[in-house]
Structure 1
Amino acid sequence: MTSTTVSAPPETPRHPALAWIAVVAVACGTFSIVTTEMLPVGLLTLIGPDIGVSTGASGQMMTTASVAAVVSALAIMIVAGRVDRRVLLVGMMTVLLAANVVTAVVDSYALLLAARVLVGLAIGGFWAIGASLAVRLVPEQSVARASSIIISGISIASVAGVPAGTFIGDHSGWRTAFAAMAGLSLLVLIALAFLLPKLPSTGGLRTSDLTGLLRRGAVRAGLLSLLLIVIGHFAAYTYVTPVLSASAGLEGSTVAVLLLVYGVAGIAGTFIAGALAGRHLKAVVVGSALFLAAAMAAVPTLADGSFTAAAVLVVWGLGYGAVPVGLQVWTLRSAPEAPEGVSALFVACFQVAIGTGAVIGGLAVDRIGVAAPMWLGALAAAVTVALLLGTARSVLAKE
């Protein structure tokens, strides 16, 4: 196999504080992108009537962005060639800014979907580049911690960003929510332009490089683990509210508080994984999968009230919060000389898994029963544990 791109280090040494400020700037970009991606979830009932389409049709905003992100994650890394990665990140934020502006002003459903294609382009490109930047911004011993900060934007977006956008939409209109995201995108764009160092690339990524990575057993195992556990998570989590209602009789505001508890636990899990993954990677990835398997099996069997449901969701949040950090580091160690290629494949698999999980969960609910997605998710997490244990030696031997 031809050698994949190995990104060059920054041209001049930087003060450690500046490196961590740059990491936080990238995390803000992740937060902006994920909030924009997920924001329609809380605004569908407002968007559909305003532009003259059904709620189901407006829901295709999510699908459109996800599909575009899969293509973008792979294509941008090939097309980008030797372009400075700072320029690419600023470019992706510019695309996100344009998408939010267009979304806030258009009245056409077709143009709205076109704006969501731009969102997907930004998601795939930014995440594929940003997820691999920790190795270039901080010393090797701090890479896992820096990765957790960058990826924390995902959890924080779910816990704070999307609810805040939904609140703005409910009180000032859904267009105002996207206008606010446009303003945030502009601020992050400026921060990235001024706070990131030059990040030159030594060469371009080719299609053959990606296929070559997929021929490696350790890389395939890491990506398959990601697919399994994220599909299982979204199959189950998408339907956690009706399961809690059926098994524990919980409704309305109680469930909302429980989901907030889950979200806070997810943020904690992200940072805990970042602190531990550098020295205890196997424990982090296997432990997170075990937490998910246990939590998903416990929802229909043990969650019989608000206290037990909260305990189960804390375990679930801690486990899933650790998944992106742990498996990101795991896959990077599977091919340490090709961080951008591995990250592109990682992001593409993640986006595929999100959409697939929701579909599988829906089919399970319709054809088997409301608790079926929980058992499918627990099974997927258990298989992931076996897969990770079976391939740990080949991955950790590269350390």
Structure 2
Amino acid sequence: MAANNSSSSLWMAVLSLSIGTFALVTTEFLPIGLLSYIADDFGISPGAAGFLVTMPGFFAAIAAPICTVAAGTVDRRILLLGFTILLTVSNLIVASASSFEVAVAGRALLGISVGGFWTFAAAAGRRLVEPQDGNRATSIVMTGISVGTVVGVPLGSALGSLLGWRLAFFAVAILSLVVVLIQALVLPKIFMTASQSFRDLARVAGDRKLAVAFAAIALAAGGHFTAYTYLEPHLVRDVGAGPTELGWMLAIFGGAGIAGTFIGERIASKSPPTGTAIVAIAMAASIFATVCASSNLLIESLAVAAWGTAFGAVPVCVQLWTYSASPERFETSSALTVSMFQIAVAAGSLGGGFLADGFGIRFAFMAATALSMFCALLAAISSFKRSPDYLSGTMK
């Protein structure tokens, strides 16, 4: 349990976790808005530059379960601060990279930071507040992830245009350092009374209700990043957006994603599988509209806004789904959620790169539409078979 603190200071601690997840996920997806700059600098294709998005995903997927087991009962405050410091180091390495390989190594360190911090942050947030406030704390922490996911691209594009891609990473390194200082000031000690084992992870992974949720997040994230990794090249090459239009389009996406995090909490509060199905359908429709409306800037903007709103809701919906399915194993399920999400990010970015380079960006968007519909179908089937807790709208 967290050390005894006032209610306001504990909510400040929850907010610091949200800021931390925001900094981590913003950094993770920063290269998406900088692919053209990075590719030109290193003399590689945009598809190859997408490996900077893929690498953190693979390492985060591996790091999340390992960190859960290795952490034991260690004070979560120490771990969270350590992972944020690692984020700062990663950004500095990428900003000063003399070769693409060095940049990739820096991004691998980021993956470890993302996997560890995200795993512990959601569960720590619930432990900082009273049980009845747990869902709100989780939503606040997950808002940082959702906002970082959608803000990373427009922020990267804007910083890249103003400062160049290297200074963009250096600026985020400074942000990361500020986050470390904030967390050091407001995070209390968070003691754990039990440790996890790989056997515990296996049991959670084998839980049928949780397994469906893990599959849903994999399909949603995989579909999203199959297309989203190449949104900037699509807007530039297919839509013909100039620097000003590109900045506005990505800003629209980011702003809509912020709204989506609050919408996700509302629609998933009674039935997380149903909420997930709704946002997945909306995401599929908006991705399809984005690729089909390339000749009309207004319709394209509306489609991009709908896409940002839908995906902004996804992490919140799925995190509430896994908690409601097994509240007592939330930290362990969070680790596996991170693994599935990050594997999907890596696979989606990599697969989208192959499709974009081999057949054109439009093929990547169509594949993303299909994966999002599979997610919607899976979540819809689960909602029809939901437990009595879901039927009564009870969320612990």
Asked if these proteins are the same fold (TM beyond 0.5), I'd say yes
Is structure 2 residue 241 aligned with structure 1 residue 251?
yes
| Distance (whole Å) between structure 2 residues aligned to residue 372 and residue 58 of structure 1 | 18
Percent identity between matched residues is 34
Structure 2 matches for 1:229-244, cutoff 5 A?
A: 229-240=220-231
For each residue in 1:17-75, what CA deviation from the matched residue of structure 2 results, as whole angstroms up to 9, or x when unmatched?
2222112101111122122223334455666777x764666654333322221111121
- 1:314 aligns with one of 305, 309, 316: 305
One-letter identity of the residue aligned with 1:208: R
One-letter identity of the residue aligned with 1:202: T
**What is the TM-score with the length of structure 2 in the denominator?**
0.85
Moved more, 356-365 or 75-84: 356-365
Structure 2 stretches of 5 or more lacking a match? none
One-letter identity of the residue aligned with 1:83: V
Moved more, 135-144 or 262-271: 135-144
Is structure 2 residue 251 aligned with structure 1 residue 260?
yes
- Counterpart in the other structure of 2:144: 153
Is structure 2 residue 199 aligned with structure 1 residue 215?
no
Is structure 2 residue 5 aligned with structure 1 residue 10?
no
Structure 1 stretches of 5 or more lacking a match? 1-8
Structure 2 matches for 1:29-68, cutoff 5 A?
A: 29-43=20-34, 54=44, 60-68=51-59
1:145 Cα deviation from its structure 2 partner: 3.1
Is structure 2 residue 293 aligned with structure 1 residue 269?
no
| Distance (whole Å) between structure 1 residues aligned to residue 226 and residue 303 of structure 2 | 17
Conserved? CA contact 2:33–2:155, under 8 Å: no
Q: Cα 1:11–1:234, aligned 2, differ >3 Å: closer, same or farther?
A: same
Structure 2 matches for 1:1-399, cutoff 5 A?
A: 9-12=1-4, 14-43=5-34, 54=44, 60-105=51-96, 107=98, 111-158=102-149, 160=151, 163-164=154-155, 167-168=158-159, 170-172=161-163, 174-240=165-231, 250-252=240-242, 253-301=244-292, 305-365=296-356, 370-392=361-383, 393-394=385-386, 397=389, 399=395
Q: CA RMSD in A?
A: 3.1
Moved more, 280-289 or 173-182: 173-182
Moved more, 321-330 or 300-309: 300-309
Q: Cα 1:99–1:300, aligned 2, differ >3 Å: closer, same or farther?
A: closer
One-letter identity of the residue aligned with 1:181: V
1:176 Cα deviation from its structure 2 partner: 3.6
Moved more, 364-373 or 341-350: 364-373
1:109 Cα deviation from its structure 2 partner: 5.4
| Distance (whole Å) between structure 1 residues aligned to residue 138 and residue 310 of structure 2 | 17
Q: Cα 1:242–1:99, aligned 2, differ >3 Å: closer, same or farther?
A: closer
1:300 Cα deviation from its structure 2 partner: 4.2
Q: Give the number of aligned pairs.
A: 388
Conserved? CA contact 2:261–2:316, under 8 Å: yes
Q: Cα 1:17–1:296, aligned 2, differ >3 Å: closer, same or farther?
A: same
1:231 Cα deviation from its structure 2 partner: 1.2
Moved more, 375-384 or 276-285: 276-285
One-letter identity of the residue aligned with 1:219: L
**What is the TM-score with the length of structure 1 in the denominator?**
0.85
Structure 2 residue matching 1:152: 3-state secondary structure: helix
